[in-house]
Each structure stands twice: as C-alpha cells, then as structure tokens.
Structure 1
Amino acid sequence: MYKLPFGKTETVVNIPSNYQVRLLRPDNIASVPDGIKEIERALGNPVNSKRLSQIAELGKNAVIIVSDTTRPTPTAKLLPPLISELKAGRVEDITVVFGLGIHRKQTEEEKKTILGELYGRVKSIEHNVTDCVYLGTTSRGTPVEIFKPVADADIVICTGTIEFHYYVGYSGGAKSILPAVSSKRSIDANHALMLDPKSCAGRLDSPVREDIEEAAELIGVDFILNAVLNERKDIIFASAGNYIDAHRKGAAFLDRMSKVRVEPADIVIVSPGGWPKDIDIFQSHKALEHSKNAVKDGGSVILVAECREGYGNRVFEEWLGSNREEVIERFKSGFVMGGHKAALIASLAKRVDLYLVSSLPDEMVRKAYFIPAALQKALEMALRKHGGDARFIVMPYGGSMLAAGD
C-alpha cells in the first residue's frame, strides 16, 4: 500500500506484491530542531553579502516580496527574523508585497494564513500587474517592468522556497522579481524562453533563469532569504544573502536531497504533494514535468491531484479542448502564457497514457487530455495494457522531486 497526498488529506493505492516498484521520495532529511533558529543562522551568515541589518542602514524604506497562496513557502516563519534585522538597521517603513505574477487575487483568509501572527501588524499589498514601471531590457530582449512600489523602494528583499522548476530550473532567488512582481509583458517575454531545450528542471543555466537574474540586476535586489522544505513542509535548510550565490547554495542542497537518476518504468504514479501544489491542473502539471523522465514511451502516468480550483488559468482553459495536434502546432507558432501548459500536456499525452485522479467532473478532465478515473481503477487499466511484468515508479511528492534521465 502506497500513500499519496491528495489536497489536504491523502489517498492510498494497492499495487500487487508481485510487481517491481521503486518508491521515489526525498532523502529522509530531518527538519532542523528549530526552523526559526535555522533562519536566524542563515541571516547571521549571509552568502557573499553584508548582513541585512548593515544593508538596512543605507535606506529609509524596504519591501519584502513573499509568495502567494499557490506556494508552500513558510512566510510566517521567515518574516519575523527578517523584520528584526531591518529594524536593527533602523528601517521602520516596511511593506510586504504578495508576489502574484499573473495569479488571481487572494482572499483575506489566505493572506492571514500566509502572514500568521503578523497579519494586521505589518503593511501588506498585492502585486498589481498593471501598475509597473519600465527599468530597461535584458540581453535576451525581455522588457523589465516592475511593480511600482517595489521599483521605488530603497531596499528590495526576496523570499521564497527553492524547489525544482520545469523551465526555470529551480524556483526561489530572483524569481520573486520576475514573474512575481512584473508586468504581463515582461512575464510573457521571459516565459517564451522556455522553448529553449536548456529550459528544464534541475538546470542552473536555464535561459529563463539567466534572464530573470538580469532583470534582478536592473532593479537591484539587495538580499534574499530562501528555504528548502522536506515532504512535511518543514524547514530543513535556509540560505540568505546575494540573490545568485545564496540561491545556488540552496539549489545544491536540494540536489543532494531530491534529484534522482532513474531507469524509465512502464507505469508512474505521481502526486504533486498535496495542497497547495495540487490546487488546480495548472499547478499540478509541474509534477508531470518532474516525473516525465521516469516513464517509458508508450507507458502510463497516473497523476493524483485534487484540483479543487479546476483548471486554474483562463488562457490555459481556453486552449484546451482542441485536438492535441492543433494545440501543439498553435504553441509552435507563437508562445502564449497559459497556452504553453495545454501544449505541454497534449505533447506528453501523445507519448504516454495520462490518467488524472481528481475531484473534477470527467468532462473537465477529458478536455485537459487526461483519462478520468478513480485511483485503483486507473491502476487496473494501466495493468491491462502493460501486463504482468510491468515495472512501477511511485512519486508521492512529485512537485518537490526530480526524476532525472541519463
């Protein structure tokens, strides 16, 4: 019996004992005894940077960019030590900016959950994709247009979680600038670079990331604080300091914990890791990208994701429903943010059978190029295709792991 996160609960799958199963999950690295102390350790030992309290002496106001509700970042733990460092440098004018990118606005309850005890005690605003100022253009042609309150701040601090990302290589670092607090024009231009073959999970030289870091240089990111989490979303490592070097230190830690070489199997069962990674199909898709190297051509992938908020992106939804070839060709003719995920899922559905175990109606699932099924039923259908010598790979935390090919 294998347990898989599903929304805020979990589900189980029973694979007969005569089948060969490889369970892929992050190395069982224990959480640090005190997550706050780990954050304080990182802040006290910044990578290639002055301490934040010293940086704070050079400005009158600061913005701290934090993740929105679609990310598991432990913002409520990161903020108090960060704010203490700023106040030690005599900065009192502090604004927390929720980095929405092009995601939906958040509810007050979601903001309260993210900020914890600081809700109502610290000034906070949400990114507005239409209120951005132009700062320059990257060498790859991306116009850098940043949320005005961020661009106007004396001190810019980025927070986030470092995980594998299917085209940026890794999340975290300067990703809090682009896309999190950038205009739609900036986001679309940057994300179009995902068409480059080097734009894939686990690569630090992803053209998308290199473009993001050029944008960060234009605005002048002063400091970052990033965390690496285990499967229980506990902090196991933190890095702080320079927006490139501190990020690389966290990425190296993540590689040691969660990057695994695999021999492709016949059947892959993958969960993004539960809430909020499986909030919708748009977010759950990342687990497919992280697991696609684990399945043979002609194999079967069973995605276990609640998707309580449906498709999760209006453009993505508009692209769905056409036949797979049409969507793929449409994407090749020109990048469209949102449409890219429809094309990627359609492309994978040509190579393997895609099943989705979710809370969605069957017609919504089929429209997204998946076969709808309950978990055990999806397993039975896959076994009928692959027979008695089928090999399995099970990834309960596909949003946080990377199955790497040769």
Structure 2
Amino acid sequence: MEQIKLKYKNSYDTINIPSKNLLGVLNAKNLPSVSDPEGEVRRALKNPIESKALGELAKGKHNIVILVSDITRPAPSYILLPPIIEELTESGINYDDITIVFGLGYHRKQTEEEMKKLVGRYIYDKIRCINHNIDDCVHIGTTSRGTPVDVFKPVAEADFIIATGNMEFHYKAGYSGGNKAVLPGVCSKRTIETNHIMMIRPGTMPGKCEGNPMREDIDEAGTIVGVNFMVNAVLNSHKEIIKVVAGHPIRAHREGTKYIDEMYKMRLDKKVDIVVASCGGYPKDINLYQSQKGLENASYAVKDGGSIVLLAECKEGFGEKLFEDWMMKAKNTHEPVKWIQEDFRLGAHKAAVICTVLERIKVYLVSAMSDEIVKGIFMHPVKSAQEGLDAALKKYGDNAQVLVIPYANSVLPYVED
C-alpha cells in the first residue's frame, strides 16, 4: 500500500493506493533559478534568437510601445523592463518616446498602485504607463482563419512594438507568452472572441503550438500588428526565473517552450484507467473556473471511459457568473459544447471546455460545493480522495492502473499519438 499526501485548500488529504495499481506519481521537474535575474535579461538581450539586437532594431524610432502583462499574470515585469529600457536609451531612444501598455485582454483596468507594483516605481516615474482599452481599438487586418485584428489604437500607431511576459502552459493556446501579449492582450472584444472560439477545434491543447489553430491564429495576428521583438521569462513552480528568451516573436517563443516542457511535460507510454489529481491547494482551487486547468491537464492521461478523482475546494463556487449559468442550465454535457459554437461567450467557454472532458471521463469531485450542485454539473461528489478512488477501483477492477498528479494545474501528461 502506498500512502500519498495531496494538497487540498490550505491543508492535505491523504490517500492509500494499492502498490499493484499505482503506475506512478507525476511531479514537476523544477529547474534552478538564475542567481542574477536582471543579468539573465541582459544575457538574453545580447543573444537574441533569430533577430538583430534590440537597440539596433529600435534605433531611430520615435513611438515605441512595450506590452506588459496585467496583475493576473506572474510575469516579473519589474525585472524585465529595466534592461530593455536601458538598451533602448543607449541606442538614442528618449524616455518620452516609450509607452508601456498593460495588456488587459478581457480583464479590469489596473489601478495606479498596481501599475507601480508591476513595473517598479522607478520605471513608472520615467515612462508613460497606460491601460489597454478594449473599446478603443482600430481594425488593421484579418487573419487567414478569419479573425478580424482590431488592436488598441496606441499600439496600432506605434512604429516599434516589444512584447513581454512569462511563459507557462495555456490550456488551449499551447503556451502563454509571445504574441499572446497582442491577442488577447491588447485587442477588441470581437477579436478575442473570434480567436477564442477556435478552442473547440482539433489541435487546441496545452503544450502544442504547431498544428494548434488557436496559437497559429494568435501568431498571425501578432505578425499583422507588427510585433518587432519579444522578451519572455520562463518561471519554475516557485515563480522564479530559470531562463529569459528574447528576439523573434515566434522563434524565440518556441525556444522558451522547450524549458516549459522540460519542467512540466510528462511523457506516458499509455493512458490509464484512473487519475487522482490535486489542483495544488489554495489559491489554485479557489473556484471551479480556476480548477478547470487541473481537470483539463489530468484528462490527457485518462482513457475514454476512465475516471478522474479531482481535489478542488472551490470555496468561492464557480468563480464566474456566465460559466455558472451555463453549467447549471445544461441538461447534458453536450449542450454547452453546442451552445459555444452557436454563440461564443467569454466565461461561458469554460463550461464547454469542462463538458468536453465530462463527455468521455467520469469525474469524482472532492470540494466544498454542495452534493446537489456537483451532481447538477454532471460530476460525482465525494468527501475525500480515498472515497473517490475506492469507487473508481470498484468500477475498473483489481488490475486498474492509477496515476497521481499532485499539482495538476501545472503538470501536463501526454501520450504520443
């Protein structure tokens, strides 16, 4: 018998698994953080990937925009920005020629204090900082997949654009970072929704760029907008910088994905009957909207007709009103998938994503949500991971294979086709 502790809310839930059934425990392979984070940014700037040096490219420009992540992302902008601006000023660029734009996508505007925290007070006092305005966008083109590219006017008017951010898995666009600073970062509602509807197409999944229609559409939009250079930080699970990549907006991004894969992508020979997965405890399991990441990642290790035992407290319930409405009004798991194709709605899209998993996998949910609600959203309420595992083992028999993923929001199992 193997005893394993899994994070649940602010504590742990202990589970006992028969040794003969346990195939393995999947944990991230953290790479060590760099000793000098700003020095790592400077190293990346001096060694751009498939690009000329930033200072050389920007020389003579008079309207430079730097795209920066908002407060919902762990991007260490206050570390990335000083070396970038230093290289720009050394090439003759004035502070007045630079604007920092916070890419909000569909999120709320940043307060002045949040802006200062994100970029650092020194940068905030030197450089103009503004929020993206989703209602002040201009149309500049259309992607080959039909996405209208409407971009924030100050970005459209720039003569040089630098995309910054951090890299991690994205549940449908493959990875964050790169041209995602543009789409959804600084685009219109129409642009974001047209791109996001691609999440229900084949090939959209975490850990995949080529052959992923959503990511390819994002990169094409970035090319249309004219992103000239990118600087992205790769973080380990402690949110420490392990690598910075800079240069060509697509080629440098792909180089960064290799480090994400090394830490978080776990290759399996075959899918299993049962996965026991924790989202990682609070705050990663604060609501079902956030916990979807763990469910989605775990699903890639499970056979059709298999089961996931998911630990996600969800003390704040669903976490998004439209998502809740769609989950609660659906009469079966197929309806939200059908609705999203007919009328794409941000927020509600998570209902379609979860129901896509539920159409092929049984989910036992350990949470603070009522049994009635959990049953109403096509899952099976259990009081502990052990109760869920015992039920699943009873269903699949003595030879059922079990995988455990203690931090499912971060770790991506995959089986090569």
SS at 1:236's partner residue? strand
Structural mapping, 1:20-31, within 5 Å: 20-31=22-33
Q: 1:350 aligns with which of 337, 359, 376?
A: 359
CA distance in 1, matches of 2:174, 2:230: 18
Q: Give 1:78 deviation, angstroms.
A: 1.9
RMSD between aligned alpha carbons?
A: 2.9
Structure 2 distance, partners of 1:154, 1:280, is: 41
How far does residue 224 in structure 1 lie from its aligned partner after superposition? 0.8
Structure 1 Cα separation of the partners of residues 388 and 402 of structure 2: 13
Separation in 1 of the partners of 2:155 and 2:7? Answer: 36
Q: 1:138 to 1:188 in 2, by over 3 A?
A: same
Q: Secondary structure at the match of 2:164?
A: strand
1:32-87 Cα shifts (integer Å, max 9, x gaps): 22333222211221112222223332322332222233322222322222222233
SS at match of 1:73: coil
| Match of residue 186 from structure 1 | 191
What is the count of residue pairs matched by the alignment?
405
Question: Which structure: larger Rg?
Answer: 2
1:290 aligned onto 2:293: no
2:106 is matched with 102
Distance 1:315 1:334 in 2: 13
Residue matched to 1:223: 229
Q: Partners in 2 of 1:4 and 1:15 — Cα distance?
A: 11
Structure 2 letter corresponding to 1:337: L
Unaligned runs of 5+ in 1: none
**Deviation (angstroms), 1:268:** 1.5
Q: Given the alignment, which residue of 246, 250, 259 partners 2:256?
A: 250
Q: Give the match for residue 405 of structure 2.
A: 395
Q: CA deviation at 1:363?
A: 5.5
193 and 106 in structure 1: CA distance in 2 versus 1, 3 angstrom threshold: same
Give the secondary-structure state (helix, strand or coil) at the position aligned to 2:16: coil
The code of the aligned residue for 1:56 comes to A
Q: Give me the TM-score of the superposition, normalised by structure 1.
A: 0.88
Tell me what 1:61 maps to: 63
Q: Percent identity?
A: 46
Partners of 1:63 and 1:97 within 8 A in 2:
yes
Which residue number corresponds to residue 208 of structure 1?
A: 214
Change (3 A) 1:123 1:220: same
Separation in 1, partners of 2:199, 2:388: 31
Which piece of structure 1 moves more, 243-252 or 186-195? 186-195
Q: How does 1:240-319 map to 2 (within 5 A)?
A: 240-262=246-268, 263-273=270-280, 277-278=284-285, 280-307=287-314, 310-319=317-326
- Shift in alpha-carbon separation, 1:225–1:278, aligned structure 2, 3 A: farther
1:173 Cα offset (Å)? 0.7
Letter in 2 for 1:393: L
- Superposed CA offset, 1:140-187 (max 9, x none): 111100112222223221112222223212221101101111111001
Deviates more, 1:173-182 or 1:253-262: 253-262
Contiguous gaps of at least 5 residues in structure 2: none
Q: Specify the alignment match of 1:143 in structure 2.
A: 148
Moved more, 375-384 or 396-405: 375-384
Q: In structure 2, what is the Cα distance between the partners aligned to 1:43 and 1:3? A: 42
Letter in 2 for 1:22: G
Shift in CA distance, 182/21, structure 1 to aligned 2, threshold 3 Å? same
